[in-house]
Structure formats: structure tokens, C-alpha cells
A and B are shown apart, each in its own frame.
Chain A
Amino acid sequence: QLQLQESGPGLVKPSETLSLTCTVSGGSISSTTYYWGWIRQPPGKGLEWIGTLYYSGSTYYNPSLKSRVTISVDASKNQFSLKLRSVTAADTAVYYCARGNYPKYESLDYWGQGTLVTVSS
């Protein structure tokens, strides 16, 4: 059974960098059948797509966050990571990592449990 687990600090100061890692178990992050994504959800609000990591190692970022986001992969550890720079209170959210399934029209079929990141001094 595939599992995804987010990890990282739950509190980040304004203007600093938010760093999260998603560890994938029960499947390979290098499979060509899937892609990997980061999604966030501010408290009480809806879901926002942050960015995508493809099996080739290429990435796509939401234009609204592109100048501040980097997604990278460590295939040897079956992990991928998110860095969001220059954070503000508006970046406070539950951050999810998820798997996108190409045969299922790129839907997100597995999600991590999510981790709340609060931006505050």
C-alpha cells in the first residue's frame, strides 16, 4: 500500500524559507506512471495547487507562486521536497503531498496526511 508522509517544521518566521519533505513508501518515486505534487490548504479555505514533479525530474510551478517555489527530488531516498521562500502569514496552511496518476487522467489518488505550517514570528 502506497503511503506518503510530509515532514518539516510546523512554525516558520516571516521572510524565511518553508522546507518540507515528502517520503514515499510502498512504491517508487521514479515510476513513469505517476507524477508527484504539492497542494496547500489555508485554514478554513480551499485547495491550492503549488507545483508538480515529473518522473523526468522536471517541474511545474503555479505561476502565482513560481518566483518563490522550488520542488526537488532525492530518488535514492524516495523523497521529494518543497521549498517556499520569503513566506508571509498568507502562506500559513496545511501542506499536502500527493501522487498524480496518469492512467486516471492525472487525478490525485494518494495523499499524505498533511502538515500544518504556521508563519509567525
Chain B
Amino acid sequence: DIQMTQSPSSLSASVGDRVTITCRASQSISSHLSWYQQKPGRTPKLLIYAASSLQNGVPSRFSGSGSGTDFTLTISSLQPEDFATYYCQQSYSAPFTFGPGTKIDIK
């Protein structure tokens, strides 16, 4: 299985901050990388697919980059509704494994 890691595991930030989360795959996954947002008690929501493509309806402050093994999710200006846990997921090789998550909370 392809192992996914994320860093940091958690971070504290303020509204308006620029936030970057890193995801790393144990082998090359080309651009087969998605990012999901999950709020407590809620269903994961697709933000980014194909490493850098914004899902319909997702605010443009979210962006993704990377290919191969290293990827980033950036929130350009953190909003109150962005405090959540973020997961990366590879869809290059089954099983389509998830990263362990990065929790963003309020500083």
C-alpha cells in the first residue's frame, strides 16, 4: 500500500493567516492526490482533486500544488469556517489511502 503522511498533525492559526499543509506519499503518485475538509461530526468534503484542481463551489482561497510524492494545500486567508481537519488521499493505486489528517484550530 502507498503510505501517506501529513505535516503538521495540528496547527493553531488566526483568521486571515496564510496556512500551508504538506502531504507526502511513500512513492510517486503523479497528480492523483485529493484534499478533503472535515468539520466535527460532519462528512468529509472534497476541496481539491488532481493535486491542484478546485472542486466546484470551493472558495478560491484554497489551492493545491505538487506532483510525484510531495504536495501542499494552501489557504490564502483563513476564515472562521475553515477551522477543521484536512485529509489528503491518493488515488493512484488501490487501496486509495488517506493521510492521518491535519487539524487547524483557532489560536
Contact = CB atoms under 8 A, between A and B. Distances in A.
Interface of A: 37, 46-49, 52, 60, 62-64, 96, 100-101, 104-109, 111-114
B50 A104 contact: yes
B7 interface: no
Instruction: Classify chain B: how many residues form its interface, as a range.
Output: 20 to 34
Interface centre among A100, A108, A109 (most CB of B within 10 A): A108
A105 B50 contact: yes
Question: Secondary structure at chain B's binding surface: helix, strand, loop or mixed?
Answer: loop
B71 to A, nearest CB: 13
Interface centre among B87, B94, B95 (most CB of A within 10 A): B95
B69 interface: no
Contact of A46 (B53, B94, B98): B98
Contact of A96 (B43, B55, B94, B95): B43
Contacts of A114: 43
B1 interface: yes
Interface string B26-42: 00000111101000000
Contacts of A62: 95
Given A46-B100, A46-B101, A108 B43 contact: no
Interface centre among A47, A96, A104, A108 (most CB of B within 10 A): A47
B32 A108 contact: no
Closest 10 CB pairs of A and B: A107-B49, A106-B91, A107-B34, A47-B98, A105-B50, A104-B49, A62-B95, A49-B95, A111-B43, A46-B100
